[in-house]
Structure 1
């Protein structure tokens, strides 16, 4: 009898210990109530429609300097990297031969000028005495001699002009404004007119071009939206730049050309914008990321933390249904703006979009909505959990 009592007492003790553990762990004693979730109200608004494109900086002007006359380099007249104006001297070529050629041409011009009055007098005399000592043939000969003297004078003047031009080419000058590269020749090197090797390269990078690449499919999508009226295009397109280190470049670019050809290998179109670059921060050849505001459209902005994209590409989110339960909806997006998806279909004006408390939420679950706000960084403020860190639920 005592053994039976002892066995019963041991079982009771085990049950008592298990009950204590369950109580300490907060085991539910009844059905759970509705789950509190943070919500925002879905509102149609004017949303900028933008495109983020890769780009590459291209010099506004770039020229390879070559000599127009041959000779020995006598002096390098510039410092690499210094800003040049149009006409600034770069190299001086030995001009002895060109000085001699100019002197010879000048002498020929003086001779031609001296011969012209003689020919003119001979013609005037022959014409005045025509039929009285001068035959018609002699008059014609005097006229031809005068014409030849005039032509010789013009040829001598042209030869002098060209000799002076060649002499001026002995000093190689900058054809554009920009910054020169290091010289490929030094004093004493022999150069020839029109040689294939450049003496130096000059690059103008203020302003600067940025060539951006966009797919032809997206361009067609933008045009379709404009034709259908869902997209209001901007008349004057502007672009912003993000540098390779992540810094946003100050200033906006203006459209130069929208591109007229589609690459047969990549299916893309090159769009060129022009940016002011007074401090030469953007260097030709640099790869950049650009943002172009194409226009505006009426859409809903859904915080990216409030939506989930499946492997199939389908975008879903939760709203509070009319029955007070969580309802999963499928969204049709048109890209993103800042920290939000641009949604055109799947929501209605005034829907309560659930943005917080999503970690354990399931469709059909009873919820209690609590108003929340989303800051510019995509973090939830005044939510049910009080979390403002922006961490995923």
Structure 2
């Protein structure tokens, strides 16, 4: 029993020494004082409301070139990738058979026209001699023969026109202005009228369409904000494109159509925008990003580095209260710039927003403020004075 008592006494002495040493190492704990923070003063002003969208380029018009007659391809009359105008020849099919058909139709037309004067003369003579040796049946037959001769001419003219159309179709031309693609046939290939495989494709690249997608839910939100006065719609949408390589496209688009239906698979509405494309930098099928300015709002620009974005889309910021202490505020934004959130409500002119040392703040914390500026790159710099 006495041995256990000695052990307990030794442990107590060791703990006492350890406590004293720790206290000596930490030293006396004094007050930390107010927390130093950087602040910027917010003022309400007109701010463009720009939202990001994604889209895909589509040709303004595209024609798949197919033959309308049968035959062998004898010539390819264009250079791949060259610009062609409507009516420019692209392919030639062996025309000899169709030339022969036209010659035959022309001969039949001449024969039909040659028979007409005799039929007309017979009909006129029988009319004069009717009742003097020419029966009514003879007269009727002469008139029928005349009508048949005229009908034969019309039929022969139609046959000649058909033969001429088929002959013209042996030279396949472009129906639109555009850029002709790589031919999918070679000289000597047999093609048939109405075949499913196209000989080539002609695509109009200037101007070009870009189809943007926007969720129907967000469009309803913007309409509600315009109705409530938080936003003012512009006369027209201003759209800036960024290409796949990150290059900002030099040109603004014009909205040509907004879909009247919502996609059942993506829940988005399609917005078709037309861009000039003289250098053909935008090609059909290319994916692009767009910054679409919907209008303006009389709002505050809250630096993004000073706001904590929540899962529900709200923003939490720290402001300097009238008591000089830090207070947390929850806000809602209607859009953003590259460096700031656009906030129309929940703040007042002259609000002092805390922009740094945020992780160390607590509600009602005593603070010491320092005016700062924020560069476009997010660099915070103290303001003297």
Could you say which TM-score interval applies, normalised by the shorter chain?
A: 0.7 to 0.9
Corresponding residue of 2:272: 272
Residues 335 and 236 of structure 1: CA distance in aligned 2, closer, same or farther (over 3 Å): closer
Cα distance, 1:354 vs structure 2 = 1.9
Does the aligned pair in 1 maintain the 2:109–2:153 contact within 8 Å?
yes
Does the aligned pair in 1 maintain the 2:87–2:173 contact within 8 Å?
yes
Corresponding residue of 2:118: 118
Secondary structure in 2 matching 1:235: strand
CA deviations 1:344-364 (Å, max 9, x no partner) are: 332122211122443534332
Corresponding residue of 2:4: none
Task: State the distance in 2 between where 1:287 and 1:194 align.
Answer: 33
Residue 275 (structure 2) pairs with residue 287 (structure 1): no
Report how many residues are paired.
363
Q: Unmatched 5+ residue regions in structure 1? A: 1-14, 387-393
Residue 336 (structure 2) pairs with residue 362 (structure 1): no
Secondary structure in 2 matching 1:237: strand
Corresponding residue of 1:260: 260
Corresponding residue of 1:315: 315
Q: Pairwise mapping of residues 135-154 of structure 1 onto structure 2 (< 5 A)?
A: 135-154=135-154
CA RMSD of the aligned region, Å? 2.5
Corresponding residue of 2:337: 337
Cα distance, 1:41 vs structure 2 = 2.2
CA deviations 1:98-122 (Å, max 9, x no partner) are: 0000000111111122222222222
CA deviations 1:122-145 (Å, max 9, x no partner) are: 222222333334333333322222
Cα distance, 1:235 vs structure 2 = 3.1
Query: Which stretch of the first structure deviates more once superposed, 193-202 or 138-147?
Result: 138-147
Task: State the distance in 1 between where 2:110 and 2:156 align.
Answer: 8
Cα distance, 1:276 vs structure 2 = 0.8
Does the aligned pair in 1 maintain the 2:241–2:249 contact within 8 Å?
yes
Secondary structure in 2 matching 1:103: helix
Q: Pairwise mapping of residues 377-388 of structure 1 onto structure 2 (< 5 A)?
A: 377-383=377-383
Secondary structure in 2 matching 1:279: coil
Does the aligned pair in 1 maintain the 2:51–2:336 contact within 8 Å?
no
Query: Which stretch of the first structure deviates more once superposed, 88-97 or 354-363?
Result: 354-363
Cα distance, 1:311 vs structure 2 = 4.5
Corresponding residue of 1:228: 228
Residues 312 and 94 of structure 1: CA distance in aligned 2, closer, same or farther (over 3 Å): closer
Does the aligned pair in 1 maintain the 2:34–2:366 contact within 8 Å?
yes
Cα distance, 1:51 vs structure 2 = 2.2
Does the aligned pair in 1 maintain the 2:297–2:344 contact within 8 Å?
no
CA deviations 1:318-353 (Å, max 9, x no partner) are: 111111112211111123123111113321222111
Does the aligned pair in 2 maintain the 1:356–1:383 contact within 8 Å?
no
The TM-score, its normalising length taken from structure 2, stands at: 0.87
Corresponding residue of 1:246: 246
CA deviations 1:260-297 (Å, max 9, x no partner) are: 22121221122211111111101111111112112222
Query: Which stretch of the first structure deviates more once superposed, 332-341 or 273-282?
Result: 332-341
Cα distance, 1:73 vs structure 2 = 1.2
Residue 46 (structure 2) pairs with residue 46 (structure 1): yes
Corresponding residue of 1:98: 98
Does the aligned pair in 2 maintain the 1:307–1:317 contact within 8 Å?
yes
Task: State the distance in 2 between where 1:179 and 1:69 align.
Answer: 24
Task: State the distance in 1 between where 2:59 and 2:356 align.
Answer: 49
Secondary structure in 1 matching 2:236: coil
